[in-house]
Amino acid sequence: MKPRFLLVVALLAVIVSCRKVPDTSELSNEQVVATDRDLSANFSSYSTYFISDTVSVVANDPKDTILTGALATQLVNAVKTNMNNRGYTPVARTANPDLGLRLTVIKDITRTAICGGWWDGWWGYYPPWYWGCYTCGGYYYPWCTSYTYTIGTSTLYIFDIKNQGPNHNLRALWGATAFGVFSTTNNQTNANLTENAINQAFSQSPYIKK
């Protein structure tokens, strides 16, 4: 009986190790794009917007906080093109815009943020990204979960400047988070991935229109 028992144990070991590893090369390298809107927002009530020509950067180097030049222009223009196509007009910061947009790129950083209240399992997967806890102009973004940044994430928010509250608190009407693998050597590749993600974020948010 002992040899049979050993045979069974050996077979069990084989069975447990038989889980197939999927071929993940099938997966797209395009970033995962999540968007979130304030359901009470009436996007058609706004006409003008402002977005900076530079992009905020969160990186391991604390001095590396702003992205400028051609790559920043590429990303900002992608946002502008989408906003203009939806009927909004870009204006200067000093021209009292109705909406303020802020684009942030997070690269090569490991950070864990734990908030609460956002995840309710609606789409069937645990989100591994940090959805919010984003402080901007006194605004605390309420939808949060936990996420450890290891590669590339970009966020784009639309804030209501037209109806800002006391102490200049701003309400976020819409937020987009794109995350996924970034190239470690080619920033143009990363900019292209981010531009595609920006276009996808607007594509899946048809309610943003004048």
DSSP, collapsed to helix, strand or coil, labels residue 123 as coil
Residue 12 vs 95, nearer CB to another protein: 12
Distance, CA of 63 to CA of 172 (rounded, Å): 27
Which position among 94, 125, 166, 185 is part of the footprint of another protein (CB under 8 A)?
125
181 in contact with another protein (CB under 8 A) = yes
Query: Least distance in Å: CB of 41 to another protein?
Result: 10
CB 194 within 8 A of CB 154: yes
> How many residues interact with another protein (rule CB under 8 A)?
42
Residue count of the chain, please give it.
210
Q: Under the criterion CB under 8 A, does residue 205 sit at the interface with another protein?
A: yes
Other CB atoms within 10 Å distance of the CB of residue 181: 14
DSSP-assigned beta bridge partners for residue 153: 106, 179
- Provide the minimum distance between the beta carbon of 197 and another protein in the complex, in angstroms, as a whole number: 9
Rounded Cα distance between 181 and 197, Å, is 12
Residues 20-39 that bind another protein (CB under 8 A): 20, 22-24, 26-39
Q: Between residues 62 and 126, which has the closer beta carbon with respect to another protein?
A: 126
Q: How far is the CB of 158 from another protein (least distance, A)?
A: 14
